[in-house]
């Protein structure tokens, strides 16, 4: 009997996170890390918001146990014994950098969950944490030209891209964490999408990383689905965005083609688009881009009369469709891939128009975060 390491990693992350989340609810209450109702928040009772530490604990334990395993674990039955054969090798330095970066970004998020940090302080620190894997050698060295097929070296630009990507994915996942279960569910879908893309390349390490991120998100989802008993907070949402972004970069290192970018970009399209729209909206309203508001996509859908669960299921479905579109575009020849990407782009434009996103949302004072309700 052979068990792939990514299966073990995903299951361990799910079980550990699910169990630790119970304890973190009590810790959050003791520290006063509670999200009050009112303002831009839609819940009606104070909710603990240190669930991200459970996600970190579950994912870290799973990754430490399974990342050194590069082949399937064998369960062999001998005449008088049952032997568990675990192939082991030292962790590569870039993977060590990912784990250290995950710890740094989780610590930053936890501090923000306990006592809110100003955006002008928090955002530079996010990118500082995102630079840790690059210091350990994780980068995108080259990309293949989509027309000629020539290899284009990226040099320093590859390192800058990696830092910006990792930090931006942490921020983007944090941006959509406004409805019970939304960020956790999107993380599960994105993780499974990246795992599928890595399976096509037989990239076991990336599969394990994506499976652990998806498993920890799924384990926490039981505590976070509406009505939520615990919030993941910035510590959880930023960690999941960082880990999924890291899995995407690892995948690009194996297949750095222009079309292969479709998988991570479309898998993470929902948080990317929502964050980009938020920046434009706040800038046009003359508000600092660091100040959270109630103009996100999930808020707009709630304002149209949908329930929290309806919003979550709708956005989960949209995330899954985009992820499947990315897999389809990256897995076939160039011309059909471009057609698929064009259809997806048209679909997003039409959807945004029908939801009224083309009209920039004017913010009212009640929709801006005050001192009592910063995320």
Q: How far apart are CA 54 and CA 16, in angstroms?
A: 8
Q: Cβ atoms within 10 A of the Cβ of 124, count?
A: 11
pLDDT in tens, 264-321: 888 888 888 888 877 887 777 777 777 766 667 777 788 777 888 888 998 998 888 8
What are the structure tokens assigned to 162, written together?
């990696």
Stretch among 105-114, 201-210, 252-261, 313-322 having the lowest mean pLDDT: 252-261
Read off the pLDDT of each residue in 59-63 and give the average, rounded to a whole number. 95
Share of the chain above pLDDT 90, in %: 34
Q: What would the DSSP string read from start to end of 290-305? A: TS--S-SHHHHHHHTT
Residue 86 within a domain: yes
pLDDT in tens, 68-110: 887 777 777 776 777 767 777 888 899 999 999 999 999 999 9
Residue 302 within a domain: yes
pLDDT at 242: 96
Residue 375 within a domain: no
Number of domains in the chain: 1
Confidence of residue 260 (pLDDT cuts 50, 70, 90): low
Residue 186 within a domain: yes
pLDDT at 226: 83
Q: Which helix (H) or strand (E) holds 76?
A: strand 73-77
Residue 280 within a domain: yes
- Residue corresponding to tokens 């040099």: 155
Confidence of residue 365 (pLDDT cuts 50, 70, 90): very low
Binding residues for Mg(2+) are 174, 234
Confidence of residue 124 (pLDDT cuts 50, 70, 90): very high
Residues 161, 118: contact at Cβ < 8 Å?
no
Read off the pLDDT of each residue in 155-177 and give the average, rounded to a whole number. 90
* Parallel, antiparallel or unpaired: strands 2-3 and 34-35: unpaired
Residue 372 within a domain: no
pLDDT in tens, 128-157: 999 999 999 888 776 665 555 566 777 888
pLDDT at 108: 95
pLDDT at 300: 78
pLDDT at 371 over 50: no
Residue 183 within a domain: yes
Q: Cβ atoms within 10 A of the Cβ of 36, count?
A: 12
Binding residues are 174, 234
Structural domain that includes position 95: 2-367
Residue 82 within a domain: yes
**This prediction's pTM:** 0.84
pLDDT at 347 over 60: yes
Higher pLDDT, 66 or 347: 66
pLDDT at 375: 36
Average pLDDT, the chain: 81
Q: What would the DSSP string read from start to end of 313-330? A: HHHHHHHHHHHHHHHHHH
């Amino acid at each position: 009997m052979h068990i792939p390491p990514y299966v073990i990693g995903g299951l361990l992350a799910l079980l550990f996170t699910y169990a630790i989340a119970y304890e973190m609810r009590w810790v959050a209450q003791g520290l006063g890390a509670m999200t009050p109702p009112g303002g831009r928040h839609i819940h009606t009772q104070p909710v603990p918001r240190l669930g991200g530490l459970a996600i970190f604990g579950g994912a870290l334990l799973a990754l430490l146990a399974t990342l050194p395993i590069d082949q399937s674990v064998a369960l062999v039955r001998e005449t008088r014994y049952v032997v568990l054969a675990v192939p082991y090798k030292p962790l590569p330095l870039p993977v060590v950098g990912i784990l250290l970066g995950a710890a740094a970004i989780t610590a930053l998020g936890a501090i923000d969950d306990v006592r809110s940090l100003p955006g002008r302080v928090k955002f530079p620190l996010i990118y500082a944490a995102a630079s840790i894997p690059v210091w350990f050698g994780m980068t995108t060295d080259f990309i293949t030209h989509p027309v000629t097929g020539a290899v284009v070296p990226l040099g320093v630009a590859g390192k800058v891209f990696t830092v910006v990507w990792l930090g931006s994915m942490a921020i983007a996942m944090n941006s959509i964490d406004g409805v019970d279960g939304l960020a956790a569910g999107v993380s599960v879908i994105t993780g499974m999408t990246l795992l599928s893309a890595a399976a096509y390349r037989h990239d076991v390490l990336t599969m394990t990383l994506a499976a652990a991120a998806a498993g920890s998100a799924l384990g926490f989802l039981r505590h976070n689905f509406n009505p939520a008993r615990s919030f993941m907070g910035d510590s959880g949402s930023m960690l999941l965005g960082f880990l999924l972004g890291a899995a995407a970069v690892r995948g690009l290192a194996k297949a750095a083609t222009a079309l292969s970018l479709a998988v991570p970009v479309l898998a993470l399209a929902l948080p990317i688009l929502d964050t980009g729209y938020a920046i434009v909206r706040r800038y046009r309203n003359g508000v600092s881009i660091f100040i959270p508001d109630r103009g996100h996509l999930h808020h707009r859908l709630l304002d149209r009369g949908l329930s929290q669960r309806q919003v979550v299921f709708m956005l989960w479905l949209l995330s899954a469709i985009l992820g499947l579109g990315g897999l389809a575009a990256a897995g076939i020849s160039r011309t059909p891939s471009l057609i698929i990407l064009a259809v997806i782009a048209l679909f997003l434009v039409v959807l945004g128009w029908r939801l009224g996103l083309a009209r920039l949302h004017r913010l009212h004072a009640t929709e801006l975060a005050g001192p009592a309700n910063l995320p």
